[in-house]
């Protein structure tokens, strides 16, 4: 475990020594909950609204991060489809995992995904997230993203062009409108299975089980 | 070059180009040769420190590539160390950045440099427990298959064979 996460005594601003256990005091260890859809009419309206304002987290993992820049600038202009980029997971609803994930990056991706608010959707970009792509036999990159978090849309290619990304966003919109974008609930239902898979490969697990 | 030959017990000198040569030297004398080159011969810049795994000879070969900016010449100092006892003297007192190279070699090849700052801290990999991954007897494909849930149904083709079959199906 890292130094930062160990129990320690610090002097508070009032001058009193207080004991801090970072894993307990800085994070909540409550498990995620399943949220059942309410009134179907309201839910349908809410889904329509969600589908038309997608807030993408600006998090680039691999080479696919390059494809997001032309997408958000005037050449391909994703903003006209109601897609915007946000700098923080707290404000985002779509997580575009752009390309290969090393174990080290996966740890950050899991943390980021858990910090996002419900309902949240995941688009996995490129062959690397589907079956490992050209890094399929590497000692340090994962092969399948759907073992670690629920994925709504896969976009195949190495790398997919911005046009296919736009098609993927359109696909995600139909999925959300049909009420099938239940990734956050799937994650809560199969939480133990996802955690077991994540912990199998992330050896130095120095964070709480669920960090939101 | 001649006074190096007289002063040090050198195994081999390869002059690859006019401005690049490689000196092979025993493990014990390597650091003193590098210090000599740096202090008296103007090889003040360390380009890189890297390792090669000679699995068949059961040796690691370390290469300290030095550069003399005045006469624009490179010298590589090669040291062969045993794979079973992969330990080398540290050189971080000569250049501070050597410590970073040594941390990487410790993690990726498992070559130890006692006394080098932070050499035991993880460098790139976090929480690696297996054999150092750059060693040639580490089977990266096997490790990936055991660890990362390979997707069933994936096929791989040898590109040359595949294209030959596709483009020239009649040829043998």
Could you tell me the residue ranges of all domains in chain A? Answer: 55-201
pLDDT at B86 over 80: yes
For the residues B111-138, what does the mean pLDDT come to? 88
The arrangement of strands across the sheet holding B20-25 comes to B10-17, B20-25, B73-82, B59-68, B45-54
> Which letter does DSSP use for residue A119 in this model?
S
pLDDT tens digits, one per residue of A142-173: 988 889 999 999 999 888 888 999 999 999 99
For the residues B128-157, what does the mean pLDDT come to? 86
Contacts of A190 (CB under 8 A, 6+ apart): none
User: Above pLDDT 70, what percent of chain B?
Assistant: 99
> In angstroms, rounded to a whole number, what is the distance separating the alpha carbons of residues B148 and A132?
9
* Contact of A97 with A62, CB cutoff 8 Å: no
Q: Which pTM does this prediction carry?
A: 0.85
Asked if CATH classification 2.40.30.10 holds for the domain at A55-201, the reply, yes or no, is: no
Q: What is the mean pLDDT of chain B?
A: 89
B147 vs A174, more confident: A174
pLDDT at A176: 93
Q: Do A143 and B124 touch (CB under 8 A)?
A: no
> In angstroms, rounded to a whole number, what is the distance separating the alpha carbons of residues B59 and B134?
14
pLDDT tens digits, one per residue of A100-149: 889 989 999 998 999 998 889 999 988 888 888 888 888 888 988 889 99
The residue of chain B with its CA nearest to that of A205 is B127
Q: What angle do CA A68, A73, A75 make, to 5 degrees?
A: 100
- Domain span at residue B124 reads 2-152
Q: Name the nearest CA neighbour of A185 among A2, A34, A5, A39.
A: A34
- The minimum CA-CA distance between A172 and chain B, rounded to whole Å, is 23
**Domain with B117 in it: what CATH number?**
3.30.460.80
Residue B121 lies in a domain: yes
Residue B105 lies in a domain: yes
pLDDT at A51: 92
- The minimum CA-CA distance between A159 and chain B, rounded to whole Å, is 18
Q: Do B144 and A143 touch (CB under 8 A)?
A: yes
CB interface of A with B, residues 159-188, below 8 Å? none
Residue B170 lies in a domain: no
Confidence of residue A94 (pLDDT cuts 50, 70, 90): very high
pLDDT at A1: 66
pLDDT tens digits, one per residue of A33-56: 888 888 889 999 999 999 998 999
At A105, give phi and psi (nearest 5°): -70, -35
A6 vs B15, more confident: B15
pLDDT at A26 over 70: yes
The number of domains in chain B is: 1
pLDDT at B1 over 80: no
> In angstroms, rounded to a whole number, what is the distance separating the alpha carbons of residues B137 and B121?
23
Residue B164 lies in a domain: no
| 3-state class (DSSP) for residue A185 | helix
Q: Do B154 and A136 touch (CB under 8 A)?
A: yes
């Amino acid at each position: 475990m890292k130094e930062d996460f160990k129990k320690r005594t610090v002097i508070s601003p009032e001058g009193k020594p207080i004991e801090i256990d970072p894993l307990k005091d800085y994070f909540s260890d409550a498990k995620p909950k399943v949220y059942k859809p309410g009134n179907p009419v309201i839910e349908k309206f809410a889904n329509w609204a969600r589908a038309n304002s997608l807030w993408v987290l600006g998090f680039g993992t691999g080479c696919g991060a390059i494809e997001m820049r032309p997408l958000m600038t005037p050449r391909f202009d994703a903003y006209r489809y109601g897609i915007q980029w946000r700098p923080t997971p707290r404000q985002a609803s779509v997580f575009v995992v752009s390309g290969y994930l090393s174990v080290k990056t996966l740890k950050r991706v899991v943390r980021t995904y858990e910090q996002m608010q419900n309902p949240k959707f995941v688009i996995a970009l490129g062959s690397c997230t589907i079956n490992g792509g050209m890094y399929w036999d590497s000692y340090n990159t994962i092969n399948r993203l759907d073992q670690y978090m629920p994925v709504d849309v896969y976009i195949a290619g190495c790398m997919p062009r911005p046009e296919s990304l736009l098609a993927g966003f359109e696909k995600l919109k139909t999925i959300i409108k049909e009420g099938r974008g239940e990734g956050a609930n799937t994650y809560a239902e199969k939480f133990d299975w996802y955690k077991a898979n994540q912990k199998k490969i992330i050896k130095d697990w120095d964070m709480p089980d669920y960090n939101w | 070059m001649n006074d190096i030959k007289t002063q040090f017990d050198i195994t081999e000198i390869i002059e690859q180009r006019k401005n690049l040569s490689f000196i092979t030297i025993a493990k014990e004398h390597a650091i003193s040769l590098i210090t000599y080159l740096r202090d008296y011969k103007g090889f003040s810049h360390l380009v890189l420190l890297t390792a090669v795994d000679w699995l068949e000879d059961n040796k690691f070969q370390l290469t300290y590539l030095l550069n003399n900016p005045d006469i624009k010449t490179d010298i590589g100092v090669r040291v062969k160390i045993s794979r079973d006892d992969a330990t080398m003297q540290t050189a971080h007192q000569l250049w501070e950045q050597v410590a970073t190279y040594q941390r990487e070699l410790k993690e990726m090849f498992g070559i130890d440099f006692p006394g080098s700052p932070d050499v035991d801290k993880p460098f790139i990999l976090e929480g690696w427990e297996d054999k150092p991954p750059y060693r040639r007897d580490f089977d990266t494909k096997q490790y990936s298959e055991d660890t990362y849930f390979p997707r069933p149904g994936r096929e791989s083709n040898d590109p040359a064979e595949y294209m030959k079959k596709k483009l020239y199906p009649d040829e043998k």
